[in-house]
Amino acid sequence: MRTPISDTKIGKEIYHLLEQVIETHIPVEIEFKGHTVRISLEDSGKLARLEPHPDCLVGDPEDIVHLDWSGEVHHDIP
């Protein structure tokens, strides 16, 4: 990570810095009143990147709820 940018310099460069963070995915740190503030992209998790597949299930979803698997279970397997 680079050296933090001073708060006096940020006013002139804010749009440039935001574009830079978006393009490079590298956070920018800003020194403000003795604190360091970081501008970074939001971390989207794996679930946020899932794509819907509406045609995946063929039939009535309620049929799955009422399936009886008791005839398929064999408890004698070691």
Q: What is the pLDDT of residues 22-38, one digit of tens each?
A: 999 899 888 888 898 89
Domains: count for the chain: 1
> What does pTM read for this prediction?
0.46
Over 70: is that where the pLDDT of 1 sits?
no
Task: Give the DSSP H/E element, type plus range, for residue 9.
Answer: helix 7-24
User: Which residues constitute the domain of residue 26?
Assistant: 1-42
- pLDDT per position as a tens digit, 41-73: 887 778 877 888 888 888 888 888 888 888 888
| Residue 11 lies inside a defined structural domain of this protein | yes
Does 37 reside within a domain? yes
- Is 80 exceeded by the pLDDT of residue 7? no
Q: Is residue 36 part of a domain?
A: yes
Q: Is residue 4 part of a domain?
A: yes
**5, 31 contact by CB (below 8 A):** yes
70 lies in some domain: no
Residue whose structure tokens are 């680079």: 2
Q: Is the dihedral of CA 54, 59, 61, 65 positive or negative?
A: negative
